[in-house]
């Protein structure tokens, strides 16, 4: 099947006064002469508007819709832009090649895949199917691999292979940088990847990453196809170029071999390296496309001049020569400077935020929907969630579930509950089914056997779990884990009897469940940080019963499953999830070294992406910005650990913000 070039006459579109509808910077980019163009669009500067009007401008100059390729990161973004183009020009979205890299890669492979030996009737595996096929491939190579609970399960293993494929880095390097918990077994992964690829070929199936890998292969190994695309698409436009991974950037380079490419992005907002985004793509764009004209769009329509001055101060701290110079300029009038707030600890930080939100709503008429609390990692928001819940202030977490509802938190709490109360069968069911090949019925049989044996021998339930009578009821695949599982429960019980709840929690994390966590989740280190936050929470309590009761009560209080998503509520979100959003008032919390930037970034000596993340956080605010940090970490063991303000705060000139002191009464 061939695609014919659009042979229709140039479109008759309504006249558009580009000069009147765009500012000077936007107008220069929209009307730029064809060639390699890099548009550096600062936060809140009208990036989408610029792209939309560029498409309309090309149409007005006689370019046909079928000669324009628009690459985006979400189908929603592509649809939004092309519908705006339709509003401007009357040309229907379906007449363009517009969409995500993956969707357009799929389209190209359906037409030309046979040029690289891919039958046109291939099918695409979804995420679950991909993991299942990988599991089969690995077990064929080593049937015992997944029996070791510290080895990655199929899901985390797929994440490792996927990141290596998208960044085109050796698996060993990918593991060392992103998944250090698997370093000792990384040498096994290449064989697994090869076996997985072989099975896909045998079954004529592809996974999500293949859509990019095979598209690039098509452009490299089938010159006639590459030439066709290069001539067909006179203009290639790429949205959010700073988020491209290595595969995507190479695809763009080959599609734009004739140099009519416009890449729109912002190097200062490149924050997704953990998903494969490569900062070097945007930095080296002019080198790979000689003659690139760089356009800067720096007029910001979102934030006050004072917030933008602070944001510019963040950018000025970047290493010389490792970023594009830019300076956001405000289109709005002056207002107050951002506030920097030092709190004694996480609890005082949360109380300050609660009181300030009440004042904003009651005294200044700010809608709860226009208030956002941003943080680097989920565990930093625990105290804020508790304070808002107790005060009855509605809130929604837009980047995941609430702290005590997160799966690994619930798992560990269930383990603690069972150790404390052996009659808690619900807690037993939750932890027992984490063992290999143990389902609900199997868990019930084991528990019944343990209860009977404990009654007969007049022993404690935990003491009989590892006896022959009980172990005989354990599924064969779980028996290797059973001894460490039972030992861990006993160790936690010992701590509960002779130490404080925080020690019991720490022991539970260090034992069997910590090993389980390592194999179960690719983001093991982040989840481990969250479990350690539970240790900090437990330090408040002297008795285990009070600690466990409080968790149940808080879980009930913080549950919002039945809350109307359209109802007014404060937004809590990680900074990563807040990118692209904006709010009247923004609180950025946990701005201490080791929290933001994170400890691992500091230890690796690379905090530049964290600095860009801070810039993204700051530029979400329209009117008011509060930057807070605790002086003492509640996760640092008994007595806490002293913290220093984030280096990102210390780098900004002091005249760009106002320090705010919290009084003991939480006044200011």
CATH of domain 307-394+564-661: 3.40.50.300
Region 401-407: what's the mean pLDDT? 84
Is it true that 307-394+564-661 and 405-554 share their CATH fold?
Answer: no
Convert the pLDDT of each residue in 430-463 to its tens digit: 999 999 889 999 999 999 999 999 999 999 999 9
How many percent of the chain have pLDDT more than 70? Answer: 95
Distance separating alpha carbons of residues 302 and 45, to the nearest angstrom: 8
What pLDDT score was predicted for residue 404? Answer: 85
What pLDDT score was predicted for residue 666? Answer: 45
What pLDDT score was predicted for residue 564? Answer: 63
What pLDDT score was predicted for residue 398? Answer: 83
For β-strands 658-661 and 235-238, DSSP reports them as unpaired
Region 17-29: what's the mean pLDDT? 96
SS3 readout for 320-378 = CCCCCCCCCEECCCCCCCCEEEEECCHHHHHHHHHHHHHHHHHHHCCCHHHEEEEECCH
Region 556-567: what's the mean pLDDT? 57
Region 572-576: what's the mean pLDDT? 95
User: DSSP label at 565?
Assistant: T
How many percent of the chain have pLDDT more than 90? Answer: 80
What pLDDT score was predicted for residue 595? Answer: 94
User: Among 47-56, 162-171, 395-404, 494-503, which is the least confidently predicted range?
Assistant: 395-404
Q: Is 414 annotated as a binding residue?
A: no
Which is nearest to 382 in space by CA: 409, 411, 357, 342?
Answer: 409
Distance separating alpha carbons of residues 221 and 11, to the nearest angstrom: 35
Q: Which of 382-396 are b and which e, b meaning 16 or more Cβ less than 10 Å from the residue's Cβ?
A: bbbbbbbbeeebebb
Q: Is 46 annotated as a binding residue?
A: yes
Distance separating alpha carbons of residues 106 and 100, to the nearest angstrom: 10
pLDDT at 147 over 90: no
User: Among 330-344, 351-365, 633-647, which is the least confidently predicted range?
Assistant: 633-647
Under a CB-based contact definition with an 8 Å cutoff, are residues 309 and 656 in contact? yes
Q: Is 44 annotated as a binding residue?
A: yes
For β-strands 658-661 and 299-300, DSSP reports them as unpaired
pLDDT class of 216 with cuts at 50, 70, 90: very high
pLDDT class of 560 with cuts at 50, 70, 90: very low
SS3 readout for 35-74 = CCEEEEECCCCCHHHHHHHHHHHHHHCCCCHHHEEEEECC
Q: Which residues, 6 or more positions from 8, have their beta carbon under 8 angstroms from its beta carbon?
A: 64
pLDDT class of 325 with cuts at 50, 70, 90: very high
Residue recorded with tokens 């009560």: 553
- Does residue 400 or residue 193 have the better pLDDT? 193
Region 230-240: what's the mean pLDDT? 92
Please give the model's pTM, rounded to 2 decimal places: 0.89
Distance separating alpha carbons of residues 465 and 482, to the nearest angstrom: 9
Q: Is 42 annotated as a binding residue?
A: yes
Region 497-510: what's the mean pLDDT? 94
What pLDDT score was predicted for residue 267? Answer: 95
- CATH architecture assignment, domain 405-554: Orthogonal Bundle (1.10)
What pLDDT score was predicted for residue 42? Answer: 93
**Mean pLDDT, the chain, whole residue set:** 91
Distance separating alpha carbons of residues 529 and 600, to the nearest angstrom: 11
Under a CB-based contact definition with an 8 Å cutoff, are residues 281 and 243 in contact? no
Distance separating alpha carbons of residues 469 and 486, to the nearest angstrom: 14
Region 366-393: what's the mean pLDDT? 93
What pLDDT score was predicted for residue 3? Answer: 39
329 token code pair? 């300029």
Q: Is 389 annotated as a binding residue?
A: no
User: Among 208-222, 521-535, 642-656, which is the least confidently predicted range?
Assistant: 521-535
Q: Which fold, 18-114+211-297? A: Rossmann fold (3.40.50)
Q: Is 47 annotated as a binding residue?
A: yes
Q: Is 130 annotated as a binding residue?
A: no
Burial label for 632, CB within 10 Å (0-12, 13-18, 19+), is middle
CA dihedral sign of residues 559, 563, 567, 572: positive
pLDDT class of 4 with cuts at 50, 70, 90: very low
Q: Is 48 annotated as a binding residue?
A: yes
CA distances from 340 to 144, 309, 324, 372, 537 (A): 54, 14, 27, 16, 25
What pLDDT score was predicted for residue 437? Answer: 86
Domain map of the chain by residue range? Answer: 18-114+211-297, 146-203, 307-394+564-661, 405-554
pLDDT at 561 over 60: no
């Amino acid at each position: 099947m061939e695609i014919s070039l659009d042979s229709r006459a140039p479109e008759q579109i309504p006249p558009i006064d580009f000069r009147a509808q765009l500012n000077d910077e936007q107008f220069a980019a929209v009307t730029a002469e064809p060639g390699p163009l890099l548009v550096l669009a600062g936060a809140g500067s009208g990036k989408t508007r610029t792209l939309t009007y560029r498409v309309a401008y090309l149409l007005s100059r006689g370019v046909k819709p079928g000669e324009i390729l628009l690459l985006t990161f979400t189908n929603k973004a592509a649809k939004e832009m092309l519908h705006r183009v339709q509003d401007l020009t009357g040309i229907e979205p379906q007449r363009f090649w517009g969409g995500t890299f993956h969707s357009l890669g799929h389209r190209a492979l359906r037409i030309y895949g046979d040029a690289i030996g891919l039958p046109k009737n291939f099918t695409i595996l979804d995420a679950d199917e991909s993991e299942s096929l990988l599991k089969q491939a690995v077990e064929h190579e080593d049937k015992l691999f997944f029996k070791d609970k510290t080895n990655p399960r199929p899901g985390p293993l797929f994440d490792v292979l996927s990141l290596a494929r998208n960044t085109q880095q050796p698996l060993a390097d990918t593991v060392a940088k992103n998944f250090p918990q698997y370093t000792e077994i990384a040498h096994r992964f290449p064989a697994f990847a090869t076996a997985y690829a072989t099975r896909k070929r045998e079954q004529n199936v592809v996974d999500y990453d293949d859509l990019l890998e095979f598209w690039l292969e098509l452009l490299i190994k089938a010159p006639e196809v590459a030439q066709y695309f290069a001539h067909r698409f006179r203009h290639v436009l790429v949205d959010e170029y700073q988020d491209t991974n290595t595969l995507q950037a190479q695809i763009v380079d080959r599609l734009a071999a004739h140099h009519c490419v416009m890449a729109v992005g912002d190097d200062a907002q490149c924050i997704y390296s953990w998903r494969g985004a490569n900062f070097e793509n945007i930095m080296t764009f002019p080198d790979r496309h000689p003659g690139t004209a760089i356009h800067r769009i720096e007029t910001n329509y979102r934030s006050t001049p004072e917030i933008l001055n602070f944001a510019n101060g963040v950018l000025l701290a970047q290493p010389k020569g490792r970023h594009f110079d830019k300076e956001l300029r405000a289109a709005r009038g002056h207002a107050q400077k951002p506030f920097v707030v030092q709190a004694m600890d996480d609890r005082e930080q949360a109380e300050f935020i609660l009181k300030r939100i009440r004042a904003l709503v009651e005294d200044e008429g700010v809608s709860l929907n226009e208030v956002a609390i941003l943080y680097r990692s989920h565990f930093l928001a625990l105290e804020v969630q508790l304070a808002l819940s107790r005060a009855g202030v509605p809130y929604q977490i837009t980047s995941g579930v609430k702290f005590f509802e997160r799966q690994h938190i619930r798992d560990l709490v269930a383990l603690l509950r069972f150790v404390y109360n052996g009659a808690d069968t619900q807690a037993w069911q939750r932890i027992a089914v984490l063992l290999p090949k143990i389902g609900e019925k199997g868990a019930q049989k084991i528990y019944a056997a343990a209860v009977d044996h404990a009654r007969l021998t007049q022993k404690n339930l935990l003491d009989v779990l590892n006896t022959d009578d009980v172990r005989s009821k354990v599924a064969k695949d779980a028996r290797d884990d059973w001894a460490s599982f039972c030992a861990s429960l006993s160790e936690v019980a010992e701590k509960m009897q002779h130490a404080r709840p925080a020690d019991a929690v720490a022991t539970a994390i260090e034992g069997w469940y910590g090993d389980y966590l390592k194999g179960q989740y690719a983001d093991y280190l982040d989840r481990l940080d969250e479990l350690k936050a539970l240790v900090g929470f437990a330090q408040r309590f002297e008795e285990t019963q009070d600690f466990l009761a409080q968790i149940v009560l808080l879980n009930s209080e913080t549950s919002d499953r039945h809350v109307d998503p359209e109802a007014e509520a404060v937004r809590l979100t990680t900074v990563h999830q807040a990118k692209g959003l904006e709010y009247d008032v923004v609180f950025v919390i946990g701005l201490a070294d080791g929290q933001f930037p994170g400890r691992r970034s500091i230890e690796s000596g690379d905090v530049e992406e964290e600095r860009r993340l801070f810039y993204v956080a700051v530029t979400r605010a329209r009117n008011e910005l509060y930057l807070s940090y605790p002086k003492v970490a509640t996760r640092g063991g008994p007595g806490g650990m002293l913290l220093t303000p984030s280096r990102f705060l210390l780098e900004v000139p002091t005249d760009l913000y106002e320090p705010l002191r919290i009084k003991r009464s939480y006044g200011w």
